[in-house]
Amino acid sequence: MRGAGRTDAGVHALGQVVAFDISWRHSLQDLQRALNALLPSDMVVWALGEAPPDFHPRREAQARIYRYLIYNGRWRDPFGRALAWHVPPPLDVEAMRRAAALWVGRHDFGAFGRPPRGQNTVREVRRTAIVADGEWVAFEIEADAFLYHMVRIMVAVLVAIGRGEQSPEVAAAYLRRPDAYPAHAPAPPYGLYFVGARYDRIPVPLPPQFLPGSLRLFKDR
Alpha-carbon span 202 to 29, nearest angstrom: 19
Contact 107, 175 (CB under 8 A): yes
**Is there a cis peptide before residue 182, judged by omega within 30 degrees of 0?**
yes
Contact 83, 215 (CB under 8 A): yes
Active site residue 200: no
Beta strands in 48-98 (DSSP E): 63-71, 85-86
Q: Which of 8, 30, 77, 133 is catalytic?
A: 8
Residues in a beta bridge with 123: 107
Return left, alpha or beta for 172; rule: phi > 0 is left, psi -120 to 50 is alpha, else beta.
Answer: alpha
Is there a binding annotation on residue 66? Answer: yes
The DSSP output letter for 46 is -
- Give 212: exposed, middle or buried? Use CB within 10 Å, 0-12, 13-18, 19+: exposed
Binding residues for substrate, as ranges, are 66
Which of the residues are catalytic? 8
